[in-house]
Structure 1
Amino acid sequence: MPDWHPATVSDTSPAADGLTDLVLDIQGTPLVGTHAHPGQYVRLRLTGQEEGIFAIASPPDPRGTRWEFLLKDGSPLPDALIRLRPGARVDVTPPEGKGFPLERARGHDLLLFATGSGISAIRSVIRSIHRERGAYGRVTLYFGARTPSAFAYSDELHEWEAGGVRVVRTVSQPGASGWQGLTGYVQAHLGEEPPRDVVAFLCGQTEMVQGVKATLQARGVPKSAIYLNY
């Protein structure tokens, strides 16, 4: 049985079309210091709702008392969480999953792939990398969304780039939005140069993960250098 602890809602705010930021305060609980690896996830539950699994979007912090999440609307639990006011209680488990092995990426170029709400786990990676940017080679984020207004953390992208992370955004369904950037799937924008001495972290829809893995392996990246967060 999961080990549940009470957390308190600090804030909710719109993140993008169909996405909402949720911040939980875990101060005074045994959860403080348990988030060890970016990409780990927890279970959240509310009375009368089925529990759900959500990646922690903030980086690990041994003394941190706030965990951030990205909620995708359209399902009962996320919709209920989005409606909560500051001070409301949410039950939370300790982090699960192995997360992303940052130690494997040290000294190598790092390719990050995320689509939709999968950017939450990758954001935790990026925030962690910024604390010790010199330990890694070139870092590139390939970030895909259905529409231009569906990119979460768009207000942070300039910070990520200023911190040494190249950001490549692509839209799969631009429609009549006037989007002038890249279109199509993330794996279509790897460029012509074969990836060498790289490690890749992936989080997003199954189709994206399978497509990226196949593309990377076809271009010589070994399977052992491609990681998911679970």
Structure 2
Amino acid sequence: MTVIIPSLPHAHLSAPPLPMSILRRLPFHSLTPCHYRPRRRFATLAAVRQDTTVWTPTPISSIDTAAESLFHISIDVSSSPDLAASHTLPGQYLQLRLPDVEKPSFLAIASPPSLAASSGAFEFLVKSVAGSTAELLCGLKKGDVVELSQAMGNGFNIDKIDPPEDYPTVFIFATGSGISPIRSLIESGFDADKRSDVRLYYGARNLRRMAYQDRFKEWESSGVKVVPVLSQPDDSWTGESGYVQAAFSRAKQIHSPKGTGAVLCGQRQMTEEVTSILVADGVSSEKILKNF
């Protein structure tokens, strides 16, 4: 999901003089100084808030196609140890800004925190949307420089579903590019192999739109059963079809609601409906983790 941040002026906060032809038509109260004072105060405060973001120039290491309309982007943060160290939890995100583009994007970090520590890299799964900053980003090449803020957000609070013996069942849900922070979670490790039932329901329109298929075997070897769900599969597809929430409803088998946790990221309707299903079956809403 890409969030647009408005650009706010840093100068010329007072209103420009009006032409005399307009001044003659305005009532007296429209010209008093107090008419502009709140706007000036708001603009000043907003500008101060915007100035608190620390931007770090970083080069792109690689841009590769991950799936249809999805791109795998790796950014080198090896020369920015403070930036690399800011990524401490799976599910965190940051802002990315391009040269000569006023509006930055919020991007979830797809790589586990350990990758920044060991290899000095942040990885992202970016959906190219026409007319967006993300589209411009996906059109860049190796060596191009972008600016990153420090990682932010509380990520997925896995402590709420630990220890694994108390929460042997964990259901994970993702749709589209929402798989990005879920990848970070799985590859960070949350003792999936010590739990009896860990399932990832991953929804996409079709296999061409499904990223990270080359990682599924690795994820399953770590204890996560991957259940791809296609909403518009071709005739050769024999797996789950429809929407993620429907596929889960057909095979949920929640044996112990008190020992069940969940992690969700993706399309809003999916997260709302899955949450309703889980809560109705007795799963505590505090054990349903989101990264926002």
TM-score by length of 1: 0.93
- Greater RCO (Cα-Cα under 8 Å, separation 6 or more): 1
Aligned match for 2:117, one of 51, 59, 63: 63
Larger radius of gyration: 2
Contact 1:195 1:221 in 2 (8 A): no
Aligned to 2:91: 39
Aligned to 1:146: 205
**C-alpha distance 17-81 of structure 1, shift in aligned 2 (>3 A):** same
**C-alpha distance 203-179 of structure 1, shift in aligned 2 (>3 A):** same
Letter in 2 for 1:205: Q
Counterparts of 1:88 and 1:137, CA distance in 2: 45
Contact 1:36 1:60 in 2 (8 A): yes
Written as runs of structure 1 = structure 2, the 5 A alignment for 1:57-206 is 57-61=110-114, 63-64=117-118, 65-75=120-130, 76-106=132-162, 107=164, 108=167, 109-129=169-189, 132-134=191-193, 136-174=195-233, 176=234, 178-190=236-248, 191-196=251-256, 197-206=259-268
**C-alpha distance 31-179 of structure 1, shift in aligned 2 (>3 A):** same
**C-alpha distance 135-162 of structure 1, shift in aligned 2 (>3 A):** closer
TM-score by length of 2: 0.74
Contact 2:192 2:198 in 1 (8 A): no
1:16 paired with 2:67, answer yes
Report deviation, 1:178. 2.8
Contact 2:241 2:247 in 1 (8 A): no
Counterparts of 1:20 and 1:117, CA distance in 2: 10
Write the deviation string for residues 170-211 of structure 1: whole angstroms up to 9, x where unpaired: 11122x453221111112223152252111110001111111
- Give the fraction of aligned pairs with identical amino acids, expressed as a percent: 37
**Structure with greater strand percent:** 1
SS of the aligned residue for 1:32 comes to helix
Contact 2:73 2:125 in 1 (8 A): yes
Contact 1:195 1:219 in 2 (8 A): no
Report deviation, 1:134. 4.7
Write the deviation string for residues 98-133 of structure 1: whole angstroms up to 9, x where unpaired: 100122222122211000000001000000117x55
Aligned to 1:217: 279
Q: Displaced runs of 4+ in structure 1, greater than 6 A?
A: none
Aligned to 1:2: 53
**C-alpha distance 202-192 of structure 1, shift in aligned 2 (>3 A):** closer
1:52 paired with 2:105, answer yes
Bigger mean CA offset, 212-221 vs 57-66: 57-66
SS of the aligned residue for 2:83 comes to coil
Counterparts of 1:215 and 1:92, CA distance in 2: 38
Unaligned runs of 5+ in 2: 1-51
Contact 2:192 2:224 in 1 (8 A): no
Letter in 1 for 2:180: S
